[in-house]
Amino acid sequence: MRWKIEDNPEQAAFRAEVVAWLWEALPDGWAKAVETGDDEAFDHTKTSSKWDFMSWMATIGKSGYAAPLWPKEYGGLSGQPWMQPIIREELARYRLPTFGINLLGVGLAAPTIIEHGSDAQKERYLAKILTGEEIWCQLFSEPGSGSDLASLSTRAVADGDEWVVNGQKVWTTLAQFAHYGMLLARTNPDVPKHEGLTYFILDMHAPGVEVRPLKQMTGSSEFNEVFFNDVRIPDSARVGAVGDGWRCARTTLMNERTTLAGISLDPVSIFGGTRKDPWTTFVDSIPNRQDPIIRQRIAQFYIEQEVKEITAFRANSARMRGQQPGPEGAVNKVFNAEFNQRRSAFAMNAAGIGSVAWDKGSHLAESRATTFLRARANTIEGGTSEVLRNQIAERILGLSRDVEVDKGSSWADTRRN
Ligand SMILES: Cc1cc2nc3c(=O)[nH]c(=O)nc-3n(C[C@H](O)[C@H](O)[C@H](O)COP(=O)(O)OP(=O)(O)OC[C@H]3O[C@@H](n4cnc5c(N)ncnc54)[C@H](O)[C@@H]3O)c2cc1C
């Protein structure tokens, strides 16, 4: 960790507590191998202990360290904002996932339930989100509504103490594995678009929910189309008041941005258990790295990577001092997304023909191509770079607001695609 936050005594004590817990919770030999830099011993421990990602999620999920800011009674530590960066630093140091597979549950659904949900909902859902027992997805975007999310068309109509839902979502990450979804639906078409929305918890296995995986150009199916055909949701699964869905959705979206700004979508921070850091993987993937021009470019990427880390460091150190981070989240989300695209395109160009054809089983060539293709999504997911630039212009720089052609009209009267 190059950018190290200076701990005060309370923070140093907490860090020591986290490290002591890791030594206890990890398979025998893991922590020692990391501390001594013994990669052979690390690989041996990982293989012989049959360490796996899902059981690690359950272990950390029960410890409180997976969500230090959550209330103790729901599986957190009722802790301080500075605890989060300390835990992430130590997880990364011990080659553990800094984000779990239930990223949308922990990062998006849970904070929304904590802020707007009923006590019964908190009791029912939060602990199982943390341990990864129940995976969540986010049912917001639709074929006609992405950036302009509040224009969405999926309808929920009241029927006794139930709601009947019809419509379609798209881009739904992890829907094929999810137990529950955060569903934003229109309950009143006759008021302005932001006012007619309601937020629900949807059981993804309820009759009438159909999930169709979409195959991406990387070959995997990260996201899905989801169709609702007369799906019934009990009113007890409503989060917040009827018509107050936009306020709840903003909590989800705000948390999504912070989660994605901090995340690096590389396998090391997602899955852990590997000895290589993403930077080494990038440099290794460039075959002609001794070429003087290529070396210059690699050095330039390194400089930009440092700038990015310093910006993330500023946000973290603000949290460590108990302050709210400033515009770093939006700035880093835009920068990170475009940096990933430029860097992965450079690696493909530098590798020449090796980027389009390679020996079977060449992990470096495969990862270079997959990283390049996957990076296309970075400037779209979690809010597009154009929309984030609008927000930076309006909220940070105080420039004039984006045009709102349908301001004041009811949703039913607005033009939609
Ligand atoms: C990998 C991935 C995973 C995703 N996962 C999920 C998920 O799990 N759940 C979910 O609900 N959604 C998910 N999304 C959807 C994502 O939130 C939307 O794709 C995104 O909000 C953009 O919406 P859109 O695709 O409809 O594009 P549009 O909103 O139609 O935008 C099209 C283009 O117009 C530009 N544009 C739009 N409005 C403006 C404006 N006011 N000013 C300037 N330019 C503008 C955009 O920047 C973009 O270039 C995911 C997307 C990706 C790529």
Specify whether 149 is located in the same domain as 221: yes
Same domain, 147 and 239: yes
For residue 382, which atom of ligand 1 is closest to its CA? 17
- Residues 142 and 221 placed together within one structural domain of the fold: yes
Residue 81 sits in the same domain as residue 149: no
Higher pLDDT, 254 or 390: 390
Question: Which pLDDT does position 410 carry in this prediction?
Answer: 94
Least confident of 39-43, 106-110, 327-331, 372-376: 327-331
- How many whole angstroms from 172 Cα to the centroid of ligand 1? 12
Provide the residue count of the chain.
Answer: 417
Residue-wise pLDDT tens digits, 334-388: 998 999 999 999 999 999 999 999 999 888 888 889 989 999 999 999 889 999 9
- Report long-range pairs for 40-44 (Cβ below 8 Å, ≥24 apart): 42/95, 42/275, 43/275
One domain for residues 312 and 344: yes
Contact 7, 317 (CB under 8 A): no
Q: Is residue 400 part of a domain?
A: no
pLDDT digits (tens, 9 = 90+) for 97-116: 877 668 899 989 999 999 99
- Domain's final residue, options 35, 66, 96: 96
* 239 falls within a domain: yes
Task: Evaluate if residue 226 carries a pLDDT over 80.
Answer: yes
Residues 238 and 332 in one domain: no
| Domain presence at residue 307 | yes
Question: Do 310 and 243 have their domain in common?
Answer: no
Domain count within the chain: 3
Mean pLDDT of 3-15: 86
CATH number of the CATH domain containing 51 = 1.10.540
List all residues whose CB is within 6 A of at least one atom of ligand 1.
137-138, 140-141, 146-147, 171-173, 222-223, 377, 380-381, 383-384, 386-387, 390, 402
Mean model confidence pLDDT for the chain: 89
Task: Please list the alpha-helical segments (H only) found in 81-171.
Answer: 83-93, 103-104, 110-116, 119-130
Task: Give the 3-state secondary structure percentages of the chain, helix then strand then coil, rounded to 5.
Answer: 50, 15, 35
389-395 LR contacts (CB < 8 Å, sep 24+) = 389/334, 391/330, 392/327, 392/330, 392/331, 392/334, 395/327
Same-domain pairing of 284 and 328: yes
Predicted confidence (pLDDT) at residue 66 exceeds the cutoff of 60: yes
Q: What is the residue range of 359's domain?
A: 276-383
Q: How far is the CA of 183 from the centre of ligand 1 (A)?
A: 17
Q: Is 90 exceeded by the pLDDT of residue 4?
A: no
> Among 96, 125, 155, which residue terminates a domain?
96
Q: Report whether pLDDT(286) > 90.
A: no
Positive or negative CA dihedral for 381, 148, 176, 66? positive
User: CATH number, domain at 148?
Assistant: 2.40.110.10
- Note the pLDDT tens digit of each residue in 115-158: 999 999 999 999 999 999 999 999 999 999 999 999 999 999 99
Q: What is the best residue among 197, 380, 389 to mutate for testing ligand 1's pocket, by most ligand atoms within 8 Å of CB?
A: 380
> How far apart are alpha carbons 293 and 161 in whole angstroms?
68
pLDDT band at residue 223, thresholds of 50, 70 and 90? very high
Residue 385 Cα to ligand 1 middle (Å):
9
Looking at the structure, do residues 251 and 281 belong to the same domain, yes or no?
Answer: no
Which of the two residues, 327 and 405, has the higher pLDDT score? 405
Token couple for 78: 């009722």
The pLDDT assigned to 316 comes to 67
Q: Which of 89, 222, 256, 328 is catalytic?
A: 256
Contact 289, 298 (CB under 8 A): yes
Q: Are residues 64 and 172 located together in one domain of the fold? A: no
- Tell me, yes or no, whether 148 lies in a domain: yes
pLDDT over 90 at 18, yes or no = yes
Residues 218 and 290 in one domain: no
Domain end: 203, 221, 255, which one?
A: 255
Residue to mutate, 384, 386, 402, ligand 1, most ligand atoms under 8 Å from C-beta: 384
Identify whether residues 236 and 163 lie together within a single domain: yes
* pLDDT for position 263: 54
Ligand 1 centroid to 345 CA: how many Å?
Answer: 22
- Say if 82 falls within a structural domain: yes
Residue 356 lies in a domain: yes
Whether residue 110 lies inside any domain: the answer is no
Mean pLDDT of 392-410: 88
Residue with the larger pLDDT of the pair 257 and 341:
341
Can you give the pLDDT at residue 143? 96
CA dihedral defined by 337, 343, 349, 352, rounded to 10 degrees? -120
pLDDT (tens digit per residue) in 176-185: 999 999 999 9
The confidence score (pLDDT) of residue 406 equals 82
| H or E stretch covering 308 | helix 292-320
Which atom of ligand 1 is nearest the CA belonging to 142?
26
Q: Residue 146 Cα, ligand 1 centroid: separation in angstroms?
A: 5
The answer to whether residue 237 is domain-embedded is: yes
Q: Work out the end-to-end distance of the chain between its first and last CA atoms, rounded to an integer number of angstroms.
A: 47
Q: Of 221-235, 262-276, 309-323, where does mean pLDDT reach its minimum?
A: 262-276
Question: Can you tell me which atom of ligand 1 is nearest the CA of 140?
Answer: 11
133 tagged catalytic: no
In the chain, the percentage of residues whose pLDDT exceeds 70 is 91
